[in-house]
């Protein structure tokens, strides 16, 4: 069983798991959510979160370095249009904007890795922002996996721990939608720009939201 394998190889088993997570993140392979759930089920909340955050951070740094040194031209050509918002936010706010991108997955994880590599963002800032930014989301997924592993009978499916874990998981999944809705609402509240045109006697008339005629 996995428990017996983990006990027999107390160091090797976690090391292999972290290595798998590094490869998954570095090459943008699918399955990050499944790996995070598995980490909670196998290692528990604390160790599982530690292994997930470590693997994801190292993998993201590798993707960043590859993007910066080998794939810069390809990344700009392939994702240039989608990276404009990320690039602007990083230039204006740096670490705080990167933390936002990691905390609220408004953009795909792999795209943030590649986009940061072609900007002037320092490696240290990128690594720290990724490390701390992915902790809450990783904890949510790992906790959900640990809660599933703790179920011994059907009556425990509706336990507060299990329901709370999946409520947090659902809320985390909805964060990008919530952020987009708030952004659109704020944009609607912005008044239209004022346009001035000469009046009949040379005065300037102010128009709002209309083009001069």
Residue 208 covered by a domain:
no
Residue 117 has a CB neighbour count (10 Å cut-off) of: 22
Q: Could you tell me if residue 206 is left (phi over 0), alpha (psi between -120 and 50 degrees) or otherwise beta? A: beta
Confidence (pLDDT) at 207: 46
- Number of folded domains in the chain? 1
Torsion-angle region of residue 9: left (phi > 0), alpha (psi -120 to 50) or beta?
Answer: beta
Per-residue pLDDT of the chain (213 residues; tens, 9 = 90+): 677 777 778 889 999 999 999 999 999 999 999 999 999 999 999 999 999 999 999 999 999 999 999 888 888 888 777 677 777 888 778 888 899 889 887 778 998 998 899 888 899 999 999 999 999 989 989 998 998 888 776 555 556 766 676 677 667 666 666 666 766 676 666 665 555 555 555 555 544 445 544
At 195, give phi and psi (nearest 5°): -120, 130
Determine, yes or no, domain membership for 21.
Answer: yes
Residue 203 lies in a domain: no
Supply the range of the domain harboring residue 149: 2-189
Q: Phi and psi for 122 in degrees, rounded to 5?
A: -65, 150
**Position 47 in a domain:** yes
Q: What is the pLDDT, as a whole number, of residue 36?
A: 95
DSSP string covering 133-176: HSHHHHHHHHHHHHHHHT--SGGGGGSHHHHHHHHHHHHHHHHH
How many Å apart are CA 95 and CA 90, to the nearest integer? 7
Does some domain include residue 195?
no
Residue 15 lies inside a defined structural domain of this protein = yes
Asked if residue 213 belongs to a domain, the reply is no
In this predicted structure, what is the pLDDT of residue 213? 46
The answer as to whether 202 is a domain residue is no
């Amino acid at each position: 069983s996995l428990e017996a394998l983990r006990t027999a190889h107390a160091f090797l088993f976690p090391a292999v798991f972290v290595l798998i997570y590094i490869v998954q993140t570095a090459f943008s392979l699918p399955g990050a959510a499944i790996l995070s759930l598995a980490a909670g089920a196998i290692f528990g909340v604390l160790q599982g979160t530690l292994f997930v955050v470590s693997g994801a951070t190292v993998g993201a740094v590798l993707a960043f370095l590859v993007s910066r040194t080998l794939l810069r031209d390809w990344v700009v050509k392939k994702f240039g249009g989608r990276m404009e918002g990320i690039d602007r936010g990083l230039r204006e706010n740096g670490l705080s904007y990167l933390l936002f991108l990691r905390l609220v997955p408004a953009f795909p994880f792999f795209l943030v890795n590649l986009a940061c590599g072609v900007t002037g963002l320092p490696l240290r800032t990128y690594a720290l922002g990724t490390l701390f930014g992915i902790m809450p989301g990783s904890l949510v997924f790992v906790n959900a996996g640990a809660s599933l592993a703790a179920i011994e009978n059907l009556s425990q499916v509706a336990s507060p721990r299990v329901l709370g874990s999946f409520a947090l998981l659902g809320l985390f999944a909805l964060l990008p939608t919530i952020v987009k809705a708030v952004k659109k609402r704020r944009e609607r509240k912005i008044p239209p720009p004022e346009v001035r045109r000469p009046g009949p006697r040379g005065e300037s008339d102010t128009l709002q939201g209309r083009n001069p005629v």
